[in-house]
Amino acid sequence: MGTPTQYKIGGCDVVFPHQAYGVQLSFMNKCVQSLEGGRNALLEAPTGSGKTLSLLCSSLAWQQREKKRIEDGLPSAYPPSAAPPPEAPAPGLATEGGFLDPGSEAPGAPPVRRTAPKVFYSTRTHSQIAQVVAELRRSSYRPRMAILASKKHYCVNKFALSKPSIEEACDELLKEGQCSYFKGTQAVVSSGYSSRVHDIEELRSFARGQRACPYFLASKWSKEADMVFSPYSYLVDPVIRRALDISVEGNMLVFDEAHNMEDVAREAASMHLPAPEVLEIQTSFARAVAMNGKPEVYAPLADALLRLHEWLVAREADVAQGVIRIQKQNRFEKEEVVWQGPQLLAHLKDMALGADAVEALWVAYQAARAEEEAMQQSRGPQGASAPGPAAPGAPPVIAELAVRVGGKALGQTSRLIQILKLLHEVSTDGSRDFRLVFSRTFMGAEGRRGGALRFRRGGDEAGSQWVSAVSLWCLNPEVVFKSLSELAHSTVLTSGTLAPLEGFASELGTPFDVRLEAPHVVDMARQVWAGVIGMAPCRTQLNGVFRNVSTEAYQDGVGASVLALVGIVPDGVLLFFPSYSLLERLTQRWQTTGLWKRLASAKPIVTEPRGGGPEALAEVMKSYYDGVAAGKGGLFMAVCRGKVSEGLDFADANARAVIIVGLPYPAAYDKQVLEKKAYNDAGRARGLLSGSAWYSQQAFRALNQAIGRCIRHRADWGAIVLLDSRFEAPANQRGLSRWVRGSLTVQPSFDAALGSLRAFFERLASSPPLTLRPKPDPATPGPGAAKQEAGGCAEGGGAQDMGAVLARAPLPRWVSADTASFLAFLEASGCTLAAVGARYASLEAVAQDAVLDCFAAASEWLGDGKTLEQLAAVWKPCLPRGLLAAMGAGDADVAGGQEADVAALARALQPWTLAEVIPAMRQAYQQVMEGQGPALPGAMLPSPDLAQQSSVSPALGQPSTPLGQGPLQGPPVKASLISAYFPSSAEQGKRYMRSKAAAQAGAAGQQQKGGPGFQGSATLAARSAAAAASLYE
C-alpha cells in the first residue's frame, strides 16, 4: 500500500517501496558507504527495523549505478589507487573457491573491473533465505538471481527422492545418464526465469514443469547472476566453496543474522573423523589402488589414511595402558585428550599429515577427483573410465572392474586436506590456532551416544562400544574469515545482536571501518515493558547459578513467578531457559508439585522438541499458533540457542511476552569452551577479548536473540521479563542490546512488577499503537509495471483489530463528504431521480449507493490483477476518502491538504492487504449510512466551498464491467453518464489518457470543465492517469 520513494544516497538513486524510516535510511547510507570505498561494515539494528529490505535496495542500487558507469566507460567508483592494495594472502589461500592455481595473478595485484560486483546474500538457513526473497519481492528491483541449495532441497526426480541418500541416488542417475531432468536443463538456462524473483519451491515447480533440474539450473544461473542467495557455509567453508566453484573475489558479501559468524568460521576450519569412517575411506582408496591400476593417484591417499587409522589404534592402546590421561566429558559419555604447539605438530607428522606431506596429498586428491568425474561421465557397466596402463609390477587392469571411490570418501578427504592446509599454510601459527583432539565416545547399540541409553563406562550394553575419533579444532575464526573478506570487494555483517562490535571485529581479525548501532523503530516507552525481576512471589531470590538451579526453592520460585506472569500476559508467551537440561529438570519438578497442571489451565503448554528434526518442530509450532489464533493463548517453553530462539517469527499475539530464566552461558566445563577461553587469554596482546569476556559475550548474544522474538515490527508491542537477579548488575545490563538497555527497569519487588505489567497490558489493550509498519504492495515484475497482487496473510492482526482501527477514523464526516461530492457530480451531470429509477427515494440515496459501489468495484479490479491507480484514472470522478486511505494516499492527495486523517488511517491499515481492507471499509461505510455506526452530521450537502474543493467523488465503472455488489447496475445511469464521459474506443482512450495525464499533473485539485475529473494531488493524479493509459497499450 506504500508508494515507492526514491532517495539519493551516496550518489546512488535508491528506490524504496515506501517512505523509509530513519533506521532504514541509516542502513542504506552505511551500505552504500561500505560499497563505495570497498570497506567492511558491522551494522546492528533490532528485528523489525527493515534492515534486510534496506540492504537489498541499497546494494542493488549501487550495483546498477556501477553497471551504468562501466557501460559508459567511466572510471570505477573505487579505483585501485584510492586505497592501498590488500595484503597478499598467505600461500594456499583460496581464490576461486579453492587454492591459488599456477599462473594466477600475483596476490595484491590491482583488480581490473570489467563487471559490477555480484552481491552474495547469505543467511543461516534456507527458511531465512525464503524470508529475504520475500523482501526482495516487495522492492522494485529485479536482478538476475540464483539460490544455492543442496540437492536435498532442489531434487524433483521421484526415484532419487525415494532413496535414503538423494546425493548418492543423483550421482548414480547421472552416471548412468538416466535423469531426464538433468538432460533438459541446458534448454531452460536461457529462459529468463532467473530475472524473476523466486524462492526454492517456486524454482522447483517451474523446473518440474520444464522437465529441467532446478539444482543445476540454480548452479548455472549463479555464474552470471547479479545476486546470489545461499546459507553461510557455502561462502565461509572453503571446502564447500571450492566444491561448488563459488568465486567471491571482487564481489560484495552480505551476511544477515551474522551474530554467530565467529562460530561459523571456527567450525568451517574444524573437522571430526571417527575411526570407523577413517577405515571406510581408507578401504575405498585401497580398493581403487588394487582395481584401477593407478597407484600414483590413489596410493598416497590410501597410505596416509592408513597411518591416521594406525595412530587412532595406538592412542587407544595408550589409554588402556594409562600412558595418556584422558579427561572425562558429559558424565562419562565422552573422553578427550587435547594437544597443541609442538606436540600437535609431532602427532600430525606421525600420521604422515605434516607440513611437508600436505601438498603431495592435495595433488593426489585432485587427480583422484578427476578420475572420479571421468568415471561418472562414462557409460560403462561400472561407470569406469578407460584406465591407463598398469604401473610396473602391478596386476593387469580390467576396465569393467575399475571402481569409484565415492563422493563421501572424496568429500571427507578434501575436508581433511584443506583444513591441514589452513593449519600449515594459511594460519600464521597453526600450532597455536588449532588443537588436535583424540576422543572416545560411548555409542549405543544403534550408533547413538551413550546418553541416549545409560551413562556407563565400558561396552556392557548389548552392541554398544567406545568409538575413538580424531578432531582438529580451530580456535581462531580469523583463519577462515580474514582470507574470505580480503578476497571480497566489501563484506557486510548485520544482525540485531552484534554488539559489542569491538569484540566481534577482534575475533574475526578483520577491519570494519563502517559501523552502526541503530535504535528500535517502535516507541519504546509506550510499546515495550522491559524489567528485571530478581525475587519470586515467595521472596526466594531468583539467581540461576549452577549451585542454585538444583534446589527445590529455586525451582518452585521460578514456577510460581511464571504462573503469576502468564495470568497477566494476554495471548502467547515465550519462556526461554538456558539449557535443555534445566528445562527438563523444571518440567519434572513442576509436574510433581502440581504446578504444571495450573500452568496448563492458564495457557496450553508446548515444549520445544530436543530432537526429531524439522517435522517435530513444525508440529509443535502449529499447535502453538493454533492455540493463540483460537484465543486460548499459549506458553511455549524453549531453549536459548535452540530451534525456536532464532529465525522464527512470533509477531503480535504470538509473543506478547518473552520471559528469560537465567543466563545462557555455554557449558562451563566443556573442553572446547575451556580451550577457547585459554586461547583468548593467551592472545590478549594480539587484541583478543579475554576468555571470560568472550564467554560472557556468547551468553548475551544467545540471550539477545531470544529477546528478539518479541517486538517484530513497528506496530508490535509486548513485555520482556528477565527472571534473574544477576540482571540487576549494570555490568550484565551492558551485555543487552542497545534498544533493551535504554528501557530496562529493575523492579523493587515481585508485586510491584506484577502491578506495572498489568497496567502496561491494560493500557495497550484499550489503545494499541496506531502508527503501524509500512507494508507496501507486493512488488511488480519490473520497474514501470503496474500489477498489484491481492490476498496474502496480514501479519498485523485480525478482523477485530481492523474494526478498532476503522472505529477511530472519522467515518461519519467522510461518508457525508463523499456522498455530497457524488451528489454534486450527479447534479452537475444533469442526472435526475426519474432517470435513475423508482427504487430510489432521492438522489442522495443514489449517491450513497454509488459510494459503496466504489469499494465493490475496487475489490473486482484487484481480483483482475489491476491496480487502484488504474481504477482512479479510468473512473474519472475521484475515489472516497476511505479508499484513498486504503491505497496509502497521504493528506496531500486530498484537496486542500486538510484531511490529515487520511494519512493516519493509511498508516494504521498497512498491516493488512487491500483485499482485506476494502470489504471491511465498505461494511463500515454502510453501517454509518444505515445508522448502525456513529451518527452522520446533520447536513448531507456541504457548503458550496466544500463541494468545490472535495476530491472524493465516487465512480461508476466501465460499461462492460458489472460492479457486483453495488446496487447501481441499471442501464439508465450508465447510459446517461458513462457514455458521455468515458472514451468509447481504445484509440480515443490513448489520446484521452495522455492529455489527461499532463492536465492533471499541472492542475491537480482543480475542477475541470465538462465534469469533475480526478482531483487528488499531482503525484497521485499523474500516477493514476499513466497507469490507466497503460491499459490501452
pLDDT value of position 51: 87
What kind and span of H or E run contains 745? strand 744-746
CA distance linking residue 483 with residue 379, whole number of Å:
40
Mean pLDDT over 977-995 rounds to 37
> What is the DSSP annotation of 415-450?
HHHHHHHIIIIISS-HHHHEEEEEEEEEE-TTS-BG
Residues of the chain with CATH 3.40.50.300: 1-10+27-72+117-143+226-265+481-520, 524-766
pLDDT value of position 785: 30
Q: For residue 815, what are the contacts with CB-CB under 8 A and spacing of at least 6?
A: 848, 851, 925, 928, 929, 936
> What is the DSSP annotation of 262-278?
HHHHHHHT-EEEEHHHH
CA 414 to chain centre: 30
Helix axes 355-377, 166-176, angle to 10 degrees: 60
User: What percentage of the chain exceeds 90 in pLDDT?
Assistant: 41
Residue 362 has pLDDT above 80, yes or no: yes
At 917, list the grid cell: 481492507
Place of cell 483489530: 801
Q: For residue 217, what are the contacts with CB-CB under 8 A and spacing of at least 6?
A: 185, 188, 189, 193, 203, 207
**pLDDT tens-digit series, residues 897-926:** 344 566 667 667 766 777 778 888 888 888
Among 549-558, 745-754, 925-934, 990-999, the minimum mean pLDDT is found in 990-999
- Residue 766 Cα distances to 658, 770, 771, angstroms: 21, 12, 15
pLDDT value of position 34: 93
Q: Pick the residue with more confidence: 853 or 537?
A: 537
pLDDT value of position 1017: 38
Q: Pick the residue with more confidence: 822 or 996?
A: 822
pLDDT value of position 105: 41
Q: Pick the residue with more confidence: 918 or 562?
A: 562
Give the single-character DSSP code of 898: -
Is residue 834 classed exposed, middle or buried when 0-12, 13-18 and 19+ CB atoms within 10 A define those classes?
Answer: exposed
pLDDT value of position 1030: 41
CA distance linking residue 574 with residue 655, whole number of Å:
6
Three-class SS state of 168 = helix
Q: Pick the residue with more confidence: 804 or 238?
A: 238
Mean pLDDT over 212-221 rounds to 93
Residue 944 has pLDDT above 70, yes or no: no
CA distance linking residue 805 with residue 916, whole number of Å:
13
At 192, list the grid cell: 529468463
Bridge-based pairing state of the strands 12-16 and 5-9: antiparallel
Mean pLDDT over 977-990 rounds to 35
Q: Name the pLDDT band for 1027 (thresholds 50, 70, 90).
A: very low
Q: Name the pLDDT band for 958 (thresholds 50, 70, 90).
A: very low
pLDDT value of position 454: 31
Among 222-236, 459-473, 605-619, the minimum mean pLDDT is found in 459-473
Residue 384 has pLDDT above 50, yes or no: no
pLDDT value of position 829: 66
Q: Name the pLDDT band for 932 (thresholds 50, 70, 90).
A: low
**pLDDT tens-digit series, residues 695-716:** 998 999 899 889 988 888 778 8
**8 Å CB contact between 62 and 12:** yes
Strand partners, 473: 435
Q: If you classify domain 524-766 with CATH, what class do you get?
A: alpha beta
- Residue 441 Cα distances to 307, 330, 380, 449, 667, angstroms: 21, 10, 42, 7, 18
Residue 355 has pLDDT above 60, yes or no: yes
Strand partners, 474: 434
**pLDDT tens-digit series, residues 589-616:** 999 999 999 999 999 999 999 887 778 8
**pLDDT tens-digit series, residues 125-177:** 888 898 899 999 999 999 999 999 989 899 999 998 888 888 888 877 877 77
Among 248-252, 572-576, 636-640, 995-999, the minimum mean pLDDT is found in 995-999
Residue 807 has pLDDT above 90, yes or no: no
Three-class SS state of 273 = strand
Residue 975 has pLDDT above 70, yes or no: no
CA 539 to chain centre: 42
At 380, list the grid cell: 560403462
pLDDT value of position 1005: 37
What kind and span of H or E run contains 637? strand 634-639
Residue 380 has pLDDT above 70, yes or no: no
Residue 666 has pLDDT above 80, yes or no: yes
Average predicted confidence (pLDDT) for the chain? 76
**8 Å CB contact between 734 and 741:** yes
pLDDT value of position 71: 84
Q: For residue 651, what are the contacts with CB-CB under 8 A and spacing of at least 6?
A: 712, 713, 716, 795
Give the single-character DSSP code of 111: P
pTM higher than 0.85 for the full model? Answer: no
**pLDDT tens-digit series, residues 487-521:** 999 999 998 878 667 777 889 989 999 998 888 87
At 486, list the grid cell: 580480503
CATH tag for 1-10+27-72+117-143+226-265+481-520 (out of 1.10.357.10, 3.40.50.2000, 3.40.50.300, 3.60.20.10): 3.40.50.300
**8 Å CB contact between 253 and 492:** yes
Q: Name the pLDDT band for 627 (thresholds 50, 70, 90).
A: very high
Q: Pick the residue with more confidence: 958 or 989?
A: 989
At 667, list the grid cell: 557449558
